[in-house]
Amino acid sequence: MAISTLPPSGMRDFLPAELTRRRHVESVIRRVYESFGFVPIETPTVENLSTLLGKYGEEGDQLLFRILHRRDKLARALQQPSVTEKDLAEMGLRYDLTVPLARLIANSKDLPRFFKRYQIQLVWRADRPGRGRFREFQQCDVDITGTTSLIAEAEVCSAVATVLSELGFKDFHIHLNHRQLLRCLISAAGLRPDQEETALVAVDKMDKIGEAGVLKELQARGITDASASLLLEMLRRPEGLDEAGELARLESRLSGIEGASAHIAQLRELLAISAHTPAGSHLRIDATLARGLGYYTGPIFEIRSPLASGSLGGGGRYDNLIGMFRGQTIPAVGFSIGFERLVMVMEEKGLFGELAVGPDVMLCRFDDVAPADVLKAATALRTAGVKVEVYPETPKLGKQLAYAESAGARVAAILGLSEVQTGSITLKHLSTGEQLTLPAGEAPAKIRGWLHP
């Protein structure tokens, strides 16, 4: 039977043009994050299951890719009379970048008190693949640990807003809620504490299945019609209210609910201190925002844009996660850009502009030029900062020039015996047809002039 040449479901190969676009987005993210004082880290692809399990909620735990024991250990596990999934694996692929960060901080003694980190790496989820949803995908996280100050929330939101603006997004919002405020709303609707997680999971699907779908799911999970309807009514933002008005509405509905005023005050303060930052004009209060991961403890946020269906990223405060590893509370807040969906939307909306793919120069030669001479010329151009591909054979020049255009080169450099003997080189601009012969030492400057007029 023939071996399939397709990658595994939910995973992809990337050709040069695609990878160039992805690296362009990544370079903007890195530059912006570093301009805010964030420093890069990386963590292993594989984590212990004891690190990963119990951090994402029941649904998230089911999506972890587990790695089977190897050799003798696997054989011994399979020989047990009643084998469970837990017996077969003790490691898994990382599900996100936040839990590995928490483990790293708990394991590190020399980090600064306020650690501003960014991380751009692949993660894996055993999810059902779909449009914009993959099993292997890249995340771009930015986090601040060690402080409860709302400046941290404002900074991560501002960094992400700056990235989106620089990538050409003009119309986007950062939806803002508070995880504890959402719990107050659930309580005020008459749900029992043991129904809270069920309600959070259902509300988190609001943007996908709509209010009617959430109502149906709440009812299917044993929540009374009255409580489900009241919860949705309290979550619903009336048209025409600005951010201050929506917070006032929520405060009125939750009067008498312990802690609600304090959580609303936090959101009010965050709006105020963000007013003159890149995020300020994009923040929107959204009581329906839930963020499905179980570790959030405070303000939560998610990027929405009319250019995209679904979220372009999200995050929030998770003050208790690191403490699960270290045994002491270390406050933290983070934001993750949905890299794959961001790239997809930029491709669909033409936000990339013209990105050069391939070499600047294709170095061609006649058959009377020795291979050593063409490689010497290529080395000189590369040393001067020019990206050069050498055509490896010597067919007719027209065939070499046609290949140069198909490979994305914008300039052809041509070597014949006379150029080698005089220390010169012939350059041809492949778009305009302009051609000239000049001393080899002057070629890099001329090429740069053509490439960047």
pLDDT surpasses 90 at 109: no
User: What phi and psi, each to the nearest 5 degrees, are found at residue 102?
Assistant: -60, -40
pLDDT surpasses 90 at 355: no
- Please report, rounded to a whole number, the percentage of residues in the chain having pLDDT higher than 70: 100
CATH architecture of residue range(s) 361-451: 3-Layer(aba) Sandwich (3.40)
Helix (H, G, I), strand (E, B) or coil at 427: strand
Q: Tell me what pLDDT residue 73 has.
A: 84
Tell me which H or E stretch contains 176.
strand 173-178
Which CATH topology does 16-185+259-349 take? BirA Bifunctional Protein; domain 2 (3.30.930)
Task: Quote the longest CA-to-CA distance of the chain.
Answer: 91
C-alpha 79/C-alpha 112 separation (Å) is: 48
Ranges for all domains in the chain classified under CATH 3.40.50.800 = 361-451
Question: What is the tens place of the pLDDT at every residue in 143-193?
Answer: 999 999 999 999 999 999 999 999 999 899 999 999 999 999 999 999 888
Q: How confident is the model at residue 52 (pLDDT cuts 50, 70, 90)?
A: very high
Ranges for all domains in the chain classified under CATH 3.30.930.10 = 16-185+259-349
C-alpha 364/C-alpha 416 separation (Å) is: 9
Question: What is the tens place of the pLDDT at every residue in 313-352?
Answer: 999 999 988 888 887 889 999 999 999 999 999 999 999 9
| CA distances from residue 134 to 99, 125, 209 in whole angstroms, order as listed | 20, 8, 20
